[in-house]
Chains A and B, each alone.
Chain A
Amino acid sequence: MYEALYSRTFYEKKGSPRFRLIIEKIEEKCDLIRQAPYTACHSERLKGNYRGKRSAQLDKRLRIIYMVCEECMKQGDHQWNHKDCSDCVGTPVKCIRFIDITDYH
């Protein structure tokens, strides 16, 4: 299982009234992503300005956006992403950075 870090935005959204009823589902999906970050929940690698990030299906209308540190290093996204992570040095490679929960539409 990969280690996991979360942005404050993700944490606050998870606890917001909108997501309170599906909080267990969010946790379940995060665990699935931690087990298989490249394939779980129909994970897709994003393009363009969001290169280096991934989108996984929470349900039909919601997505979990995250980064895999290992992939970031391997794919050379490090150059692109390094400004996003203040704690890059010293973070284990087998780590998932959960960024956000977004709408799909």
Chain B
Amino acid sequence: MREVRTPEETIIDKALYLALLDLAAHRKGDVVVGNRIKCMKLPFLVEYPMFEDKKKGFNLVFFQYEHGPISKHIYEIWRDLEAVGCIIFREKNWIQLTQDGHNIASTFISEVLEDQRNSYFSERIKEIAKKYGEWGSVTSVVYDMEVYAQELGRYMKVREVPMGVTFTYVLDDEEAATKIYIPPSWLETLAIELNPINVRSITNALEDYRLGKILSHEEVWERV
């Protein structure tokens, strides 16, 4: 187990999180998923049982903080998803899924998450989205969860866990009983689509082709 994610795990987390938001928003019949606290707790509700069962889907490291389990990785995901236009923050606190976000999520869900090999992960995410998507807050549900506090070496209610104690780590492939399957072509696509720097850069490069800013092989490798 570790705390640092590989590039592949970072991509998978963003995609699964976007899918979770989409499914939760859809349940609510709205595009607003919930406030920051709810959108931080939903992936914890999905990930914790997976982590306990050694099923490698999400790779988010959650630890106890002022308002229950949080993950710094979620802040990074919010930053990237907002920058690529998949989500927007309404009144600074409410997370709304955009049409672009919904389009990417729904294609990912139908083509990847619903693959038979991912049935465990798909069912788990859908179950949480269905159960809590319509709820205003999931904080009390999370506080009442019985969890294993890693540093203390025992099970206890989330509300009793001291600040700073870790709930989940990144599972290594070797210690995982199963792992979500994402085809390489999808991983490559998501690495661009959910990374704002890549999106901007490719948009500029395609604009070059549109505007005729094109160079030959000889010009690029200075053999003219």
Contact = CB atoms under 8 A, between A and B. Distances in A.
B205 interface: yes
A38 interface: no
Chain B contact residues: helix, strand, loop or mixed: helix
Given A7-B208, A61-B7, A102 B192 contact: yes
B206 interface: yes
Main secondary structure on chain A at its contact with chain B?
mixed
Interface string A1-32: 00111111111011000000000000100000
A99 B206 contact: yes
B211 interface: yes
B185 A87 contact: no
Contacts of B191: 55, 63, 102-105
Contact of B7 (A9, A47, A105): A105
Interface string B202-224: 10111011111111110111000
B104 interface: yes
Interface of B: 7, 10-11, 104, 107, 111, 184-186, 188-189, 191-193, 195, 197-198, 201-202, 204-206, 208-217, 219-221
Interface of A: 3-11, 13-14, 27, 42, 44-50, 55, 60-61, 63, 65, 83-87, 97, 99-100, 102-105
